[in-house]
């Protein structure tokens, strides 16, 4: 039986291409950590769906802490660690599937289902958590509400892009190469890994809110710019398929 290091090396050589300009934390930190977890999970016999559920346990435990437990510096660090582990395990499920010979529609559905629930509940938990702070004016709570809308719309649009392109036989972003490192760094404010890291500041509500709001602005700007690009891509595909 191959060692964990051999499994890790096999995964690395078979790693799928990253989306063009994917944010740096997700590519350079989360994916390698997820690869290591995938090698361990494969060795102990976990299925991809079980890995997805492990990810969900870490993530939703953190989300519950955000909404329920009083904010403090220690709780902020715990939330960040739980979210980071959940994100790394989320990266591991697809890699375990590749080690086992390929994924399944059911597994992909479960992965996206958990992701969708995570995206909505994380920002709504922030809304609940911040509402308990006397330092945060009620009108400021519009930010996590708006962030929920932006995050959900972005996620749905990305899934829809791949779905519609697949119907026309067009390669998705995940199979078209990585894009530049500079682009990956510039997109860091939109990276889920940076949002997770912001929770280290959870014990200082005003500071956290300031960083969280800046990330919201960055994600909103990205969505507006990306939506224009994505719409133009769909229009171009329509024209190409309409050509005799």
pLDDT of 171: 73
pLDDT of 182: 81
pLDDT of 67: 98
Q: Which residues contact 24 (CB under 8 A, 6 or more apart)?
A: 181, 184, 185, 187, 188, 191
**pLDDT reading at 127 higher than 90:** yes
For the entire predicted model, the pTM comes to: 0.90
pLDDT of 181: 80
Kindly state the percentage of the chain with pLDDT values over 90.
Answer: 72
Average pLDDT, the chain: 90
**pLDDT reading at 122 higher than 70:** yes
CATH 1.20.120.1760 assigned to 4-242: yes
206-224: pLDDT as tens digits: 999 999 999 999 999 999 9
Q: Where are the domains of the chain?
A: 4-242
Q: Contact at 8 Å (CB) between 151 and 119?
A: yes
Kindly state the percentage of the chain with pLDDT values over 70.
Answer: 89
pLDDT of 242: 77
């Amino acid at each position: 039986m191959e060692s964990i290091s051999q499994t890790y090396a096999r995964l690395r050589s078979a790693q799928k291409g990253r989306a063009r300009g994917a944010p740096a934390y997700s590519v350079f930190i989360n994916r390698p950590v997820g690869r290591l977890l995938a090698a361990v999970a494969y060795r102990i016999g976990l299925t991809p769906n079980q890995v997805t559920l492990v990810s969900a346990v870490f993530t939703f435990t953190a989300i519950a802490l955000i909404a329920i437990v009083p904010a403090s510096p220690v709780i902020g660090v715990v939330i960040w660690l739980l979210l980071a582990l959940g994100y790394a395990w989320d990266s591991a499920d697809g890699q375990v599937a590749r080690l086992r010979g390929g994924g399944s529609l059911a597994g992909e559905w479960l992965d996206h289902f958990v992701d969708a629930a995570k995206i909505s509940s994380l920002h709504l938990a922030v809304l609940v958590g911040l509402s308990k702070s006397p330092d945060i004016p009620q009108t400021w709570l519009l930010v996590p509400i708006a962030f929920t809308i932006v995050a959900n719309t972005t996620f749905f649009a990305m899934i829809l892009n791949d779905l519609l392109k697949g119907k026309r036989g067009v390669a998705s972003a995940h199979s078209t190469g990585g894009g530049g490192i500079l682009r990956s760094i510039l997109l860091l404010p939109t990276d889920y890994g940076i949002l997770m890291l912001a929770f280290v500041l959870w014990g200082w509500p005003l500071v956290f809110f300031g960083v969280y709001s800046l990330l919201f602005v960055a994600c909103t700007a990205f969505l507006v710019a990306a939506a224009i690009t994505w719409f133009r891509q769909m229009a171009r595909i329509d024209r190409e398929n309409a050509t005799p």
